[in-house]
Amino acid sequence: MSTLFCLMPLSLLSVPSTMSPVPVILDTDIGDDIDDTWALTMLLGCPQVDLKLIVTASDDTPTKLRLVAKMLQQIGRTDIPIAAGKKTSDAKINQAKWLGDYDISQYPGTIYDDGVQAIVDCIEKSKEPVTLLVIGPQTNIKAALERDPLIAKNARVVAMAGSIYKGYGGADEPAPEYNVKKDVAAAKAVFAAPWDITMAPLDVCGEFILKDFWYEHVRDSKTPRAVMLMENYAQWANRSHYPEDESSVLYDTVAAYLTYDDTLCKMETVKLHIDEEGYTRPHESRGRPVHCAIDWKDRDSFADLLATAVTGHEAQEPKE
């Protein structure tokens, strides 16, 4: 790979709470797995993040846009512009029961007609570098790069993607991770662009489940964000596959955290190469440097952070 990558030191990727909030564009395939909804709800409770734009990704993006609109309207956050990204299929969403017949024409906030162009415009107009949080297949980001490759000069990418040393469920063998495998060409295009990339692969997020005190804290909360989240989780098409007293695997919440901090994770810069099957393999000569969260330093503190952000109330496990 001939492109030169100038990566920021890891210390510069963490943003202390005393600094200005990080401008973030969320690109999400919300409506499929429920972890996107957890990640969005978490971001809305993080003062370290300034959510500039939400764009829906993959499959039926207009229906997913309706889902985002209803969520934001229910919790009073219609100040955030939204847009539908590239539609790739008519696949039904898994939160259709909660969405119901919501009419997006009643949404009082800003809706852009073209999600890909909205990404380009948001990055180009920003006076400071934007963090692109990509928690689905990277189709929209590839399209944005094709429209204007120069967006890589004013943005960095944080993605839930890949599998380096471990696979799903903590398996010892890596696997083609869903977000990469579903659009390998897009993932390759994002890797080829000369921006900084931070990744939450399956190694760190593939087993993260909120349970015990932390899950109860969210489940029992009466704050609008938590209520909206729990309603969606209860009516999610796959809810019956998981225990009553815990979440499903919350992959995307870890990437959401990495938009503004990484101190709770073990970070490693790995030269990664994406093959045609969707594997993200370390490769010294063909790989490009990626900041990877490969394990936890303090998993319980992240559970505290997540439950607190979702509810707006401090969540710390009682000390015996």
Q: CATH number of the domain at 267, please.
A: 3.90.245.10
319 in any annotated domain = no
Residue 268 has pLDDT above 70, yes or no: yes
Does residue 262 surpass a pLDDT of 90?
Answer: yes
In a domain, 1, yes or no: no
Q: Is the pLDDT of residue 7 over 50?
A: no
- With a cut of 70, say whether residue 294 has pLDDT above it: yes
Residue 109 lies in a domain: yes
State the total domains in the chain.
1
CA dihedral 90, 36, 265, 140 (to 10 degrees): 40
23 assigned to some structural domain: yes
Query: Would residue 316 count as lying in a domain?
Result: no
Q: Is the pLDDT of residue 25 over 80?
A: yes
- The whole model's pTM is what? 0.93
**Residue 10's pLDDT band (boundaries 50, 70, 90)?**
very low
Q: Answer yes or no: is 317 within a domain.
A: no
With CA atoms as reference, report the closest residue to 165 among 204, 208, 222: 204
Q: What is the pLDDT of residue 320?
A: 52
* pLDDT for residue 315: 73
Domain-embedded: residue 198? yes
pLDDT given for residue 204 in this prediction:
98
Buried b or exposed e, range 228-264, using 16+ CB within 10 angstroms? bbbbbbebbeeeeeeeeeebbbbbbbbbbbbbbbbeb
Q: Which range has the worst mean pLDDT, 14-23, 95-104, 218-227?
A: 14-23
Tell whether 320 is covered by a domain: no
Per the CB < 8 A criterion, the answer to whether 150 and 41 are in contact is: no
Residue 271: domain span: 10-311
What percent of the chain has a predicted confidence (pLDDT) above 90? Answer: 92
Position 317 pLDDT exceeds 70: no
What is the average per-residue pLDDT within 159-174?
97
Residues, the chain:
320
- E strand segments, the chain: 22-28, 49-56, 82-84, 111-112, 130-134, 155-160, 197-200, 209-211, 246-249, 265-274, 280-282, 288-296
Q: Residue 5's pLDDT is what?
A: 38
Mean pLDDT (the chain) is: 93
